[in-house]
Amino acid sequence: MSENNLGDHISHRFDEELEAVRNQVLKMGGLVERQVASGISALIEHDHTLARVVARSDVKINALEVSIDEQCTQIIARRQPTASDLRLIISVIKTITDLERIGDEAEKLGEYALRVENEGIRARHYEQLQHLGDHVLKMLRDSLNCFAKMDVEMALLTIASDKRIDDEFESVSRNLITHMMEDPREIASVLHVTWCARALERIGDHAKNICEYVVYLVKGKDVRHISLEQVAEEVDIELDIDIEDGDK
Amino acid sequence: MSENNLGDHISHRFDEELEAVRNQVLKMGGLVERQVASGISALIEHDHTLARVVARSDVKINALEVSIDEQCTQIIARRQPTASDLRLIISVIKTITDLERIGDEAEKLGEYALRVENEGIRARHYEQLQHLGDHVLKMLRDSLNCFAKMDVEMALLTIASDKRIDDEFESVSRNLITHMMEDPREIASVLHVTWCARALERIGDHAKNICEYVVYLVKGKDVRHISLEQVAEEVDIELDIDIEDGDK
């Protein structure tokens, strides 16, 4: 290689490093998504084998978090990235923290599914989590797609959809309270279901955080803590949905 | 100032910038700590004025998070920090995320305290949260002290104390289930208390995360996801407590 290419080469290797980190995040995201899907299935389909796997398998996710963190720190130290590259790295550092915590919540779903087996908790209550679980899983998938495609519009729509998950969580909670009142002997069992509903709702919160980092990454705006309407205006995007409706 | 001093001056200003960021984190920590203390008081002492303040006052905390994040990004971009300086900045970025989420949990405590007023929820159940609240507040205070003093030994002891909080949460939960079974009309009220207990337990988890960043910062070791015993060995510290006891 001639010396003339050295500049390009260095920058090319830097691009490759950033691309490698992005791919690692997507790999971690894929693992986390499968963990959540398995956690939900284990609960609803009373699949104890799957529950056991989910309850003990976030080792890979944790290892990926530590390794991606390390790669990011090394890239910053060696490459002195500026502006958009630095935003990508900071976004990655924040995204993997949320992914790891989604992994923790999935692990909890697995542990609760195991308790159903071990403590003779009535399994039928878990069927109420189907809708909430489906929506949370879709939201997580969407947030990872936003990250993969750097799609700000989709990120804002996904952020808006968190409100629906919160509403659904409230509705499941109300139902479960009714069950408890109707049959107080079931209180301990039903309480476990509400913990699982809460874990799912948390996963929605983390997915929302990931979408906020995508907006920061692409637009350079920190959109946490401001209303969606304001965000859409600030980043100059017209959303198809009625934001107020989605965010009220 | 002579030109000879320029090198010193630049590095001196860099030190000042890092010190300023650290102070901002401690300021944010102080605010968060007061929010949590107020949230707990509002619940236990049925102080509705305080509840209203806590439920609507994480604006300052959120603004600090955004501003510290911005300062960190600018320092990385301008100063090209290496090794320990970079670790400090990465630790700050992670710490403030946890502090902000502790602020969110405190806000929830305030909202629940308001519901006690608005929905006529029986307030006496909240007295059960006193011990858990005291311990969580102490743990949060300790984690901020660890950060202020960069004290690894204290950080490890604080990490160990999270287990006690988890145990106390379980014990409060069991008590509350008993209450619900004894008086099913109280289920909805008592469920709110369990949500508050959960919020307190989460605050403990976030405080633990902050301590883990302190160990990373000082020792350069990522100690998430490994046992405390292993950590103490790796960072070559002998802990006074029986770790296994604290972490089992």
Q: pLDDT of chain B along its 248 residues, tens only?
A: 444 445 455 678 888 999 999 999 999 999 999 999 999 999 998 888 999 999 887 889 999 999 999 999 999 988 888 778 898 999 999 999 999 999 999 999 999 988 876 666 666 778 889 999 999 999 999 999 999 999 999 999 999 999 999 999 999 999 999 988 888 888 888 888 999 999 999 999 999 999 999 998 898 877 777 787 887 887 777 776 654 444 33
ipTM: 0.84
Cβ–Cβ of A77/B87 closer than 8 Å?
Answer: no
pTM: 0.88
The number of angstroms, rounded, from the C-alpha of B58 to the middle of its chain's C-alpha atoms is: 14
Largest CA distance in chain B: 80
The two three-digit tokens of residue A25, written as one number: 């995040």
pLDDT confidence of residue A122? 65
Decide: A48 and A117 in contact? Cβ < 8 Å: yes
Minimal CA–CA distance to A196: which of A67, A44, A89, A2? A44
Here the tokens at position B171 are: 């014990």
Residue A24 to residue A172: CA distance in whole angstroms:
35
Helix (H) / strand (E) containing B173: helix B152-182
* Chain A residue numbers touching B90 (CB-CB < 8 A): 69, 72-73, 93
The nearest CA of chain B is from the CA of A105 a distance in Å of 12
- The pLDDT assigned to B4 comes to 44
Long-range CB contact pairs, A118-122, < 8 A, 24+: A121/A188, A121/A189, A121/A192, A122/A186, A122/A189
Question: Is A225–B177 a contact, with Cβ atoms under 8 angstroms apart?
Answer: no
Separation in Å, CA of A110 to nearest CA in chain B: 18
Smallest Cα distance from B47 to chain A, Å: 26
What's the confidence (pLDDT) of residue A84? 81
Most confidently modeled range among A1-15, A138-152, B124-138, B215-229: A138-152
Question: Torsions phi, psi of B236, nearest 5?
Answer: 60, 55
CB contact under 8 A, B180 and A184: yes
Kindly report the nearest CA distance between residue B219 and chain A, in angstroms.
Answer: 14
Q: Do A224 and B185 touch (CB under 8 A)?
A: no
User: pLDDT digits over A197-243, tens only?
Assistant: 999 999 999 999 999 999 988 988 777 777 878 878 877 777 766 55
Which residues in chain A are closer than 8 Å to B224, comparing Cβ atoms?
A: 62, 65-66
> What residues in chain A have their Cβ under 8 A from chain B's Cβ atoms?
59, 62-63, 65-66, 69-70, 72-73, 76-77, 80-83, 86-87, 90, 93-94, 97, 173, 177, 180-181, 184-185, 187-188, 191, 194, 198, 222, 224-225
Q: From chain A, pick out residues whose CB is under 8 angstroms from the CB of B62.
A: 224-225
Q: Among A86, A94, A187, whose Cβ lies nearest the Cβ of B97?
A: A94
The third-level CATH classification (topology) of the domain covering A3-247 is Methane Monooxygenase Hydroxylase; Chain G, domain 1 (1.20.58)
Residue B121 is given by DSSP the state: -
On whether the CB atoms of residues B46 and B93 are closer than 8 A, the answer is no
* A194:B198 CB<8 A: no
Of A176, A53, A172, A46, which is closest to residue A113 (Cα–Cα)? A46
Choose the closest CB to B73 out of A69, A90, A187.
A90
> Given the structure tokens 């609760």, which residue do they identify?
A112
Min distance A37 CA to chain B CA atoms (Å): 22
Q: Are A224 and B66 inside 8 Å of each other by CB?
A: yes
Distance from CA of A82 to the nearest CA of B (A): 5
Q: Rounded distance, CA A109 to CA A113, Å?
A: 6
Give mean pLDDT, residues A138-150. 97
Q: Do B188 and A177 touch (CB under 8 A)?
A: yes
Give the mean pLDDT of A19-48: 94
pLDDT at A1 exceeding the cut of 90: no
Rounded to the nearest angstrom, the minimum Cα separation between B243 and chain A is 22
Residue of A nearest to B190 (CA): A177
Q: Report the phi/psi class of residue B190: left, alpha or beta, with left for phi > 0 and alpha for psi in -120 to 50.
A: alpha
A75, A87, A121, A181: which to substitute to probe chain B, counting the most B Cβ within 10 Å?
A181
Q: What does the H/E/C string look like for chain A?
A: CCHHHHHHHHHHHHHHHHHHHHHHHHHHHHHHHHHHHHHHHHHHCCCHHHHHHHHCCCHHHHHHHHHHHHHHHHHHHHHCCCHHHHHHHHHHHHHHHHHHHHHHHHHHHHHHHHHHHHCCCCHHHHHHHHHHHHHHHHHHHHHHHHHHHCCHHHHHHHHHHHHHHHHHHHHHHHHHHHHHHHCHHHHHHHHHHHHHHHHHHHHHHHHHHHHHHHHHHHHCCCCCCCCHHHHHHHCCCCCCCCHHHHHC
Sequence spans of domains, chain B: 3-247
For A56-96, what is each residue's pLDDT tens digit?
878 899 999 999 999 999 999 888 887 788 989 999 999 99
**Which of A59, A121, A224 to mutate: most B Cβ within 10 Å?**
A224
